[in-house]
Amino acid sequence: MNTIKGPAIFLAQFLGDEAPYNNLENISQWASDLGFVGVQIPTWDKRVFDLQLAAESQTYCDELKGKLADMGITITELSTHLQGQLVAVNPAYDSMFDGFAPDEVKNNPAARQKWAVQQLMYAAKASQNLGLKAHATFSGALIWHTMYPWPQRPQGLVETGFKELGKRWLPILNAFDEAGVDLCYEIHPGEDLHDGITFEMFLEEVGNHSRCNMLYDPSHYVLQCLDYLQHIDIYHERIKMFHVKDAEFNPTGRSGVYGGYQSWVNRPGRFRSLGDGQVDFKSIFSKLTQYGFDGWAVMEWECCIKDSEQGATEGAQFIQDHIIKVTDKAFDDFADSGVDDNLIKQIIGI
């Protein structure tokens, strides 16, 4: 067993133009002051991180790590959620996902995908240069719009979709393997990898690649009514990252899982600040610890009610209170009767 590292915080939802949220040094100091000891860095915002430079310059990475270390902060992982989304985009979503891309590749799906793949390649090398063990991303989606089988899906559509998804990601997975970094897909609605079954289908298409792993976020499972504790039992060997995010699901006679096109505050399923939702984090931390998870507990703040500053302030202590320091002895060691080969044989009857 291992003691989970933390508390850490994903910076994406907190970045802004005003201090202390406007650059990596300022926001990391803010996080440190709140009690966090790690930061997960989004790589699409140059206010905090230059992904290409990190891939090409060991000096840049060393200086960045050094500055944060002086604040008591460790870089836990990098994230390419937005770039990963663009590795696989169904044409139905072209105009909406163009917002994730730089101007020079907008309105050009082929160029946009090529740019996204290059971003992931940079991320593999940047993670290696920073000495990181895992990386967070999205899978993208080619067939998400057919998630509900009406009209009836043509035979072979799902198989072809996952075969193409695997084809696009396999070279990226190989690059992460060369860098010695696990690529962790956040299992998330809107992605073709949105539950355990779809992860298994993708895993088969990439030949059970050792670097194909999961970012575990129970909030997305609450909203799907999926057993998020059993999920750990099934997939713990592939869970290499952990987002600590809360959620609640309160169905009514008017709306359920699909949400009725309502705003987040009016949906039956909605994200909440840590401790305000329904996720059983005591059991989650126990299971992850039991299975030897040696990564970081990273708070991802998303709440439709509570202010982000309050959520972050409470979140650091919430995670700290849930981290289990692994015992170095058995609770019944006091009753140890010692080793006696003759006694053992006598007990067995031999």
pLDDT at 340: 80
Four-point Cα dihedral 3, 174, 168, 94, nearest 10:
50
Among residues 334, 295, 282, which one has the least CA distance to residue 38? 295
Could you list the residue range(s) of the whole structural domain that residue 169 is in?
Answer: 5-348
pLDDT tens series, the chain, 350 aa: 899 999 999 999 999 999 999 999 999 999 999 999 999 999 999 999 999 999 999 999 999 999 999 999 999 999 999 999 999 999 999 999 999 999 999 999 999 999 999 999 999 999 999 999 999 999 999 999 999 999 999 999 999 999 999 999 999 999 999 999 999 999 999 999 999 999 999 999 999 999 999 999 999 999 999 999 999 999 999 999 999 999 999 999 999 999 999 999 999 999 999 999 999 999 999 999 999 999 999 999 999 999 999 999 999 999 999 999 987 776 666 556 677 888 888 888 88
Exposed e or buried b per residue across 262-279, where buried means at least 16 C-beta atoms within 10 angstroms of its C-beta: eeeeebbbbbbbbbbbeb
pLDDT at 327: 79
Domain harbouring 84, CATH code: 3.20.20.150
E strand or H helix that includes residue 250: none
Q: How many other C-beta atoms lie within 10 A of the C-beta of residue 235?
A: 18
pLDDT at 258: 96
Cut 0.75: pTM above it? yes
Domain count, the chain: 1
pLDDT in tens, 300-314: 999 999 999 999 999
Among residues 92, 90, 63, which one has the least CA distance to residue 191? 90
Q: Is 170 exposed, middle or buried (0-12, 13-18, 19+ CB in 10 A)?
A: middle
DSSP 8-state class, residue 141: B
pLDDT in tens, 129-186: 999 999 999 999 999 999 999 999 999 999 999 999 999 999 999 999 999 999 999 9
